[in-house]
Structure 1
Amino acid sequence: MSTATPTARLAELGLVLPPVAAPLAAYVPAVRSGSFVFTSGQLPTVDGELVRTGKVGADVTPEDAKDLARVAVLNALAAVDSVVRLDDIVRIVKVVGFVASAPGFGGQPGVVNGASELLGAVFGDAGRHARSAVGVSDLPIDSPVEVELQVEVRS
């Protein structure tokens, strides 16, 4: 792992933080409290549009859902960056991933790995985090995945 900043690592990966996704209801994308930033759940949207809809294990393959989790975590990083600079993140503390799952689908951890693996690539050891991968029956606007972050930032 290089000593490059998270912003530089994103560029090395050919990725750019998207604009912050507009909230779908009465909340803000991210809130800072002390040395922590908490994001609202982020969906896999690109240019304001949901990339895919449906249930994982039926309409959406686990592999496609893993890619969607990667898109959602980029949106979560954009939400963090709207409150503090991305390069001020000390560590990723926790990831919560929700997977809209078809009956009998139990591969939620593999889906949420899309988010976790990208965070590892961008933040190195500081990207290692606690995590929950939760199967749910439905998510907002029929999204297959939703990701939220809790990060520690410089004072």
Structure 2
Amino acid sequence: MSTPEQRLAELGLELPEVAKPLASYVPAAVTGSLIYTAGQLPLVGGALQATGLVGDAVSTEEAAALARVCALNALAAVRAETGSLANVRIVKVVGFVASAPGFYDQPEVVNGASDLLGEVFGDAGRHARSAVGVAVLPRNAPVEVELIAEVG
């Protein structure tokens, strides 16, 4: 069976550098065998990939793709703590979706992150999850994702 890093490569993906915090926090914190990531925005090379509310300026499909970027950023923070994703299991995902009034498809948006984690980790990527609609996110980002991962 291939490792998560090998599966990322098979998907044509690579983990980015850990995103620099935008305020006073760290990208990830470890307690016991758990790693909690900070909320990750859809940043690529330090640049936000889209702005605005989902269901208005950003479509559900675009937001789901952005949630994948957020998940990759979160995995980069996890790997920075562990050195490898080989013994990592995803426990929980929390996705925040900046939602236009009347937008109710937050679960479909956060599926972008969940589906990626399943592709990368297989059964170890199955997780509990919350998908929350919010009025606004930092830097006017459409989506933000955080993870809780276990190292075993």
TM norm. shorter chain > 0.5: yes
Deviations 1:11-66 (A, max 9, x none): 00000000100001000000111101000000000000000000000000000000
1:90-105 map, 5 Å: 90-105=88-103
Give the TM-score taking structure 1 as reference length: 0.96
1:14-53 map, 5 Å: 14-53=12-51
Give the TM-score taking structure 2 as reference length: 0.98
Out of 50, 69, 72, the residue aligned to residue 71 of structure 1 is 69
Out of 120, 123, 139, the residue aligned to residue 121 of structure 2 is 123
Q: Aligned with 1:17: secondary structure?
A: coil
Q: List alignment gaps of at least 5 residues for structure 1.
A: none
Deviations 1:83-129 (A, max 9, x none): 11232443100000000000010000000000000000000001000
Deviant stretches of 4+, over 4 Å: none
CA distance in 2 between counterparts of 1:109 and 1:42 reads 17
Q: Aligned with 2:116: secondary structure?
A: helix
Q: Aligned AA for 2:37?
A: T
State how many pairs are aligned. Answer: 152
CA RMSD of aligned residues (A): 0.7
Q: Aligned with 1:28: secondary structure?
A: coil
Q: Aligned with 1:23: secondary structure?
A: coil
CA distance in 1 between counterparts of 2:146 and 2:62 reads 19
Identity %: 66
Q: List alignment gaps of at least 5 residues for structure 2.
A: none
Q: Aligned with 2:85: secondary structure?
A: helix
Q: Is the 1:89–1:151 Cα contact (8 Å) retained in structure 2?
A: no
Q: Aligned AA for 2:102?
A: G
